[in-house]
Amino acid sequence: MPCRSGPATPELAVSLPRHSDPIAAIATAPGRGGVGIVRLSGRSLAPVIEALCGRSLRAREATYLAFRDQDGSAIDHGLAIHFPAPHSYTGEDVLELQAHGGPVVLQLLLARVLAAGAEPDPATGQPRLANLRVAQPGEFTERAFLNDRIDLAQAEAIADLIDASTAAAARSASRSLAGEFSSEIHALRDALIHLRMLVEATLDFPEEDIDFLRQADAHGQLAKLQQTLVRVMARTRQGALLREGIKVVIAGQPNAGKSSLLNALAGAELAIVTPVPGTTRDKVAQTIQIEGVPLHVIDTAGLRESADEVEKIGIARAWAEIEGADAVLFLHDLTRADATEYRAADAGIAGALATKLSKHIPVVEVWNKLDAVPANARDAAPRTGVRLSAKTGAGLDTLRRTLLDIAGWQSAPEGVYIARERHVQALRRVDEHLAQAAGHLASAAQALDLLAEELRLAQNALGEITGEFTSDDLLGVIFSQFCIGK
């Protein structure tokens, strides 16, 4: 696994609590399986290996043997692999015990590992592995980060690879884990450091006759840096979209076909569909994928005035979902499009959407039941938006393309890497600082100190992505979302 380039961050390791304790955990998912893994990480694991395996192990070589209980009996038979530091996942000594995947067996094995650590070593009389404890969520990966085996973006990519909901997201997370995203950030950082060096030299030696900045084409370097950043930001937004997706809410009057549309998009009968208005009383949600992009589609209760208390609650929840949407599909019924009462109700919903929604949230006009309209009448009254039939599927591809356009997806760009919203925000701050720097650079010597400060802030924002400048609080949030044992 590639190591993080750039300066190490020992201050992070010192400030995080109990980072030097040896840790152990079951590393496979809960439940029954053919194989289960118990993982141990720490310094000098030889005494515990001897207690568990009854022998020493050759480095990085799988050895079939009995996992021994305290009395010498076998808890199970399986494979033991010892990865000596620093060439291991965590950068510490790591022991992996691959046993049969029953939950009871794995719990017995984990309990034995913890007990072996507390037992006195016959040679020294001291505990074989003092302070051995169960790992916290994400603690193995946290140690890999703290020991410079991976950077923070790669650590997040591990969790994203595990959580990937689409094949495209999994492939992109694998690219980030391999260091493609980090390499682009490091290239930006290196160019930024070089530019900072020129500016700092000019500040330190103002009496020199040589105009360092003009001779080194600082304007050109900064412009090239900004152009590169634009490309990285575009790819990062695509990566964040692959990971996060967008929330799409289907809204409209009762019996417009909202539930049918959800079922058609999902390709499954998820929502109950009947001719009775008000059938949907609460939201029905489903995550679908279009070209690998996850879309979280929510069907809501029909919007209308109602005296039914249960339906009123459903309508209130519908509005709550609409207000939190990234995009709204305002569904209309083509068979009732010219009815005065229906048009008035639609106008009321449109007014409420305009009032409640931010202007940045797109509302797509969708006209359903195209199959129920006579062919000679379909174009009689042109309507803006997407025409479709949730029943036959006609027009669904147009709607899918529209949703991808709203999301900002660019036809599966080759080599896209997974990213997170925090990465997007960090790059936006870099962009802002570089724009400020460009303004100061245009002011020449009068603003060189401000130029230097903006470049420093831009580098710090880049460092947040890879973890070179990151608060302990952020690390705690990131790694607490991992599985125990990872």
446 shares a domain with 393: no
59 shares a domain with 82: yes
Residues 6 or more apart from 340 whose CB is under 8 A from it? none
Distance from C-alpha of 329 to C-alpha of 250, rounded to nearest angstrom = 5
Residue 76 marked ligand-binding: no
In a domain, 203, yes or no: yes
Residue 113 marked ligand-binding: no
Residue 22 marked ligand-binding: no
Task: Report the pLDDT value the prediction gives residue 13, as an integer from 0 to 100.
Answer: 38
315 shares a domain with 455: no
In a domain, 141, yes or no: yes
In a domain, 161, yes or no: no
- Per DSSP, the three-state class of 428 is helix
Structure tokens at 341: 């009462």
In a domain, 233, yes or no: yes
CATH number at residue 357: 3.40.50.300
Residue 323 marked ligand-binding: no
Strands 363-368 vs 386-387: parallel, antiparallel or unpaired: parallel
Residue 257 marked ligand-binding: yes
CATH number at residue 458: 1.20.120.430
Closest CA to 77 of 39, 48, 105: 105
Task: Report the pLDDT value the prediction gives residue 14, as an integer from 0 to 100.
Answer: 37
pLDDT along the chain (486 residues), means of 10: 37 52 93 94 95 96 96 96 96 96 95 96 91 93 93 92 85 91 94 86 60 76 94 89 88 89 76 45 76 87 78 85 91 90 92 89 92 70 79 92 86 72 94 93 75 92 84 59 65
Residue 276 marked ligand-binding: yes
User: Which sign, positive or negative, has the C-alpha torsion 244, 363, 391, 255?
Assistant: positive
User: Tokens 């459903």 correspond to what residue?
Assistant: 314
Residue 96 marked ligand-binding: yes
Task: Report the pLDDT value the prediction gives residue 467, as an integer from 0 to 100.
Answer: 87
Q: Specify the pTM.
A: 0.75
57 shares a domain with 118: yes
- Per DSSP, the three-state class of 133 is strand
Q: What is the 3-state secondary structure (H, E, C) of 144-187?
A: HHHCCCCCHHHHHHHHHHHHCCCHHHHHHHHHHHCCHHHHHHHH
Structure tokens at 356: 């409640």
Residue 302 marked ligand-binding: yes
Distance from C-alpha of 82 to C-alpha of 60, rounded to nearest angstrom = 6
Residue 94 marked ligand-binding: no
Question: How many residues does the structure list for the chain?
Answer: 486
Residue 384 marked ligand-binding: no
216 shares a domain with 330: no
Residue 149 marked ligand-binding: yes
Residue 209 burial (C-beta neighbours within 10 Å; 0-12, 13-18, 19+): exposed
Residue 393 marked ligand-binding: no
329 shares a domain with 290: yes
Task: Report the pLDDT value the prediction gives residue 276, as an integer from 0 to 100.
Answer: 43
Task: Report the pLDDT value the prediction gives residue 101, as an integer from 0 to 100.
Answer: 93
Strands 93-101 vs 74-83: parallel, antiparallel or unpaired: antiparallel
Distance from C-alpha of 195 to C-alpha of 416, rounded to nearest angstrom = 28
Residue 260 marked ligand-binding: yes
In a domain, 415, yes or no: no
Residue 419 marked ligand-binding: no
Distance from C-alpha of 479 to C-alpha of 467, rounded to nearest angstrom = 13
228 shares a domain with 252: no
Residue 39 marked ligand-binding: yes
Last residue of a domain, one of 356, 386, 407: 407
250 shares a domain with 393: yes
Residue 277 marked ligand-binding: yes
Domain limits for position 99: 10-151
In a domain, 160, yes or no: no
DSSP 221-242: HHHHHHHHHHHHHHHHHHHHHH
Residue 258 marked ligand-binding: yes
Residue 279 marked ligand-binding: yes
202 shares a domain with 57: no
In a domain, 25, yes or no: yes
Task: Report the pLDDT value the prediction gives residue 206, as an integer from 0 to 100.
Answer: 58
86 shares a domain with 196: no
CATH number at residue 88: 3.30.1360.120
Residue 255 marked ligand-binding: yes
234 shares a domain with 107: no
Residue 10 marked ligand-binding: no
Q: How many domains does the chain have?
A: 3
Residue 299 marked ligand-binding: yes
294 shares a domain with 283: yes
In a domain, 158, yes or no: no
